[in-house]
Structure 1
Amino acid sequence: MALRKIAAGLSIAVLLISVASLVMNGLKFGLDFTGGSLVEVGYEQSPDLNEIRGQLQSAGYDDAVVQTFGSPVDILIRLGQSHDPKLGDQVLSVLQADEDQTLTLRRNEYVGAQVGEELREQGGLGLLLALFMVMIYVAFRFQLKFSVGAVAALAHDVLIVLGVFSLFKLDFDLTVLAALLAVIGYSLNDTIVVSDRIRENFRKVRKGTPEEIMNISLNQTLGRTIVTSLTTLLVLTALAVFGGELIHGFAIALLIGVLVGTYSSIYVAANVLLAMGVCKEDLMPPEKEDEEVDERP
C-alpha cells in the first residue's frame, strides 16, 4: 500500500487513455454487431486457411474472417461489406484461381444490421446488470464500502480491455463480449478472496492502522493470486497462439483482463477502501443483545 498513490495515478492515466480512445475511435464491431455477408465454400481437400486469407486480402477483402465450419473442407468466410447477390461467385472465382481442386459455393447470406443493433444493446445491458448484481452481492456479504471498491475494480478492468480493443482497432464481436463477462467473474472471485482476508484481519488484528492491516491481508493472499493468474495466463496464451482466428479475440481479451484483474484486486479495490476510510468499526460483527436471565429464588 506504500505504492498506492503511484498505482492510483497509473490507473487514472490508463483509464483516461481508454476512455479517450473509446470516445474518438469507438470500437471496431464485428459482423455480429454491424451486419455483413457470409460465404461458405466447399473444398475437395483440406485447404490452408492462411493462404485463403492471403488470397482474399490480395483481392481487396481486407476484413475477411476465415474459419472452418463443421469439417476441415467446409470454409466459412465472413465479410463486413454490404451484401451483393454476386458476392459469393466473386469470392469463389478469387479462390478458384489459385486452386487445382474444384470449389463449390454452398452459401451466400446476409446478416442484417438490425440483429447487430439488438445484440449490441442487450450486450451492454448485460454488462451493466452484471456490475449491479455484483454490487448488491458484495454489499450484503461484506459492507457497502467493499461493494464500491469491488465495482470500481471491475469497471476499471472492463474499461481497460475495451480501451485496448479501441486503441489497437481489434475486432469486437460476441466472443469478446463473452470474454468481458468472464473477466468480471474472474476479477470478482479474486477481489472477494482478498476482501474476505481483509475483513478477517480487521476483526482479528488488535493493533495496526488500516493501511498496515491491508498490507498484511494482501501479502497473505499474494501467493495464491499470482499462482492462479500465472496458470490461467499459460492456458490463455496457448489459446491465443494455437486456438485459431475464431477464438483469437476471446483469448486476447481474457489475457488483458486477467492481467489487469490481478492488478486491480491488489491495488484498485484496496485503494478505494482506504480512500473511503474503512476502519474496524465498519467490519465488527453486530453485538448481540443481552439475554434476559431468569432470576432464581
Structure 2
Amino acid sequence: MEKGHQATYEEVQKIHPLYFNIVKKRYWWFALSLLVIVPGIISLLMHGLNLGIDFKGGTMIEANFTKAVTQSAITDTMKSVGLSGEVQLSNGNKSVLIRTEALQQEKQTQLMTALQKKVANYDKKTLQVDEVGPSMGQELTRNAFWSLLIAMGLMIAYISFRFQFVFAISGIIALLHDVLVVVGLFSLFRWQIDSTFVAAILTIFGYSINDTVVIFDRIRENETRMRRGDSYEDMVDKSVWQTMRRSVNTVVTVLIALFSVFILGGESTRVFSLAMLIGVFSGAYSSIFNASQILVEIKTHMKKPTKGGKAVRA
C-alpha cells in the first residue's frame, strides 16, 4: 500500500500482522532512548572518550617485509612486547603501517627486533618512523565539530523549506539522538576511537536523516488529506506503518553489509564499521520511533488552523 491507492488507517492496520500503535506508545520509546543515552553522557562527563593516536599523538612505523605477513601476526607480536595499536597492510601484505603509543628508541628497537624474529625480515633501509603530535587530532575534532554544525544548519534550512520548521526540529533532535548513542556507547565501553570514527559520525548524520525524510514525506502527504475530526496521532501512526517495510528492508540490507565489513575488514576498518553498525541501527530506531513522535509532541501543543478558519488542537 505504499504507492497508488490511498489506504485508510484501518486498512493499514490490517495489512501489517505485527501492527501496534507506535505513536501512542511514544513515551516508552523516549524512555528507552534515555536509558541508552543518559549512561553514555555520564560516562562522557566522567571519563571522556578513549582516544587513539590520531587524537592524542603517538608513533607511526612503516616497514616493508620480504614476504607477505598477516595482521594477526603483527598484533600478536606487538602484544608480546606490551604494545597495542592499529595495523594496516598494503602492497600484497608486504608493507605494514603500525600506529601505536609514543615509543622511545629502546622500545622501537625491541618491537622491530621481535617482528624480525617472529614474523619476517624487513628492509631496514626503507623503515620509516614518525612521531604524530596531538595537534592533528585537535584539528580533526575541530573540523568535525564545524562540519556537524554546518550540516545541521543546512538540514534545518532544507527540511524547513521542503516541509515545515517543526519537521526540521524533530529531525535534528533525532539526529542528535543517534550521535549521542554512538559516542556514549564508545565512551561507556571504552572502545578506542581513531580518525575513521569521525568519518562514521558524519556518515551516520547523513544516512539517518534520509530515512527520517522519507517518513516525513509520507506524513506531509497524508496530512493534506486529513478531514475535520481526524486524529493527527492516527495519521502519523499510519504514515510510519506505510513506510515501515521500506525502512526495515533498507536498514537490514545496510546492517548485513556493515557486519560483513566488521567481521572480515580487519583492524583498519573495525572502528568505522562498529560505529556505523550502532549508528545505522540507532538511526533506523530514531526515524521510526522518535522523529515522528517528537513531531507529534510539538504539533500537539500547537494550534493548527483548519480550512474553515477555526483553530483546533493538532
Question: How does the TM-score come out when normalised to structure 2?
Answer: 0.85
Match of 1:291 in 2: none
Change (3 A) 1:274 1:99: closer
Match of 1:294 in 2: none
Bigger shift: 199-208 or 245-254? 199-208
Listed as ranges, the gaps of 5+ residues in structure 1 are 288-297
Q: Distance in 1 between matches of 2:255 and 2:289?
A: 20
Change (3 A) 1:173 1:96: same
Match of 2:170 in 1: 149
Task: Name the Cα RMSD after superposition.
Answer: 2.2
Bigger shift: 16-25 or 104-113? 104-113
Q: Distance in 2 between matches of 1:99 and 1:230?
A: 39
Q: Distance in 2 between matches of 1:100 and 1:277?
A: 66
Residue 217 of structure 2 aligns with an amino acid whose one-letter code is D
The answer (yes or no) to whether the contact 2:74–2:119 under 8 Å persists in 1 is no
The answer (yes or no) to whether the contact 2:73–2:119 under 8 Å persists in 1 is no
Q: Distance in 1 between matches of 2:76 and 2:255?
A: 30
Q: Deviations over 1:192-234 (max 9, x none)?
A: 0000100111111325211100111001000000001111111
What is the DSSP-based 3-state SS (H/G/I as helix, E as strand, rest coil) of the residue aligned with 2:130? Answer: strand
What is the DSSP-based 3-state SS (H/G/I as helix, E as strand, rest coil) of the residue aligned with 1:204? Answer: coil
* Equivalences for residues 1-297 of structure 1 within 5 A: 1-61=23-83, 63-81=84-102, 83-99=103-119, 101=121, 104=124, 106-206=127-227, 207-277=229-299
Change (3 A) 1:257 1:226: same
The answer (yes or no) to whether the contact 1:210–1:279 under 8 Å persists in 2 is no
Q: Deviations over 1:2-24 (max 9, x none)?
A: 22111111112222111111111
Report how far residue 87 of structure 1 moved.
4.5
Q: Distance in 2 between matches of 1:277 and 1:32?
A: 44
Question: How does the TM-score come out when normalised to structure 1?
Answer: 0.89
Report how far residue 128 of structure 1 moved.
2.2
Q: Distance in 1 between matches of 2:80 and 2:150?
A: 43
Report how far residue 48 of structure 1 moved.
2.1
Change (3 A) 1:167 1:283: farther
Residue 91 of structure 1 aligns with an amino acid whose one-letter code is L
The answer (yes or no) to whether the contact 2:182–2:275 under 8 Å persists in 1 is yes
Aligned length: 284
Change (3 A) 1:284 1:185: farther
Match of 2:312 in 1: none
What is the DSSP-based 3-state SS (H/G/I as helix, E as strand, rest coil) of the residue aligned with 1:66? Answer: strand
Q: Distance in 2 between matches of 1:189 and 1:97?
A: 51
Change (3 A) 1:225 1:279: farther
The answer (yes or no) to whether the contact 2:63–2:122 under 8 Å persists in 1 is no
Q: Distance in 1 between matches of 2:92 and 2:106?
A: 25
Q: Distance in 2 between matches of 1:102 and 1:202?
A: 67
Report how far residue 175 of structure 1 moved.
0.9
Residue 237 of structure 1 aligns with an amino acid whose one-letter code is F
What is the DSSP-based 3-state SS (H/G/I as helix, E as strand, rest coil) of the residue aligned with 2:93? Answer: strand
Report how far residue 159 of structure 1 moved.
0.5
Change (3 A) 1:265 1:2: same
The answer (yes or no) to whether the contact 2:208–2:284 under 8 Å persists in 1 is yes
Report how far residue 28 of structure 1 moved.
1.2
Residue 81 of structure 2 aligns with an amino acid whose one-letter code is A
Q: Deviations over 1:157-201 (max 9, x none)?
A: 001000111111112122111111111111100010000100111
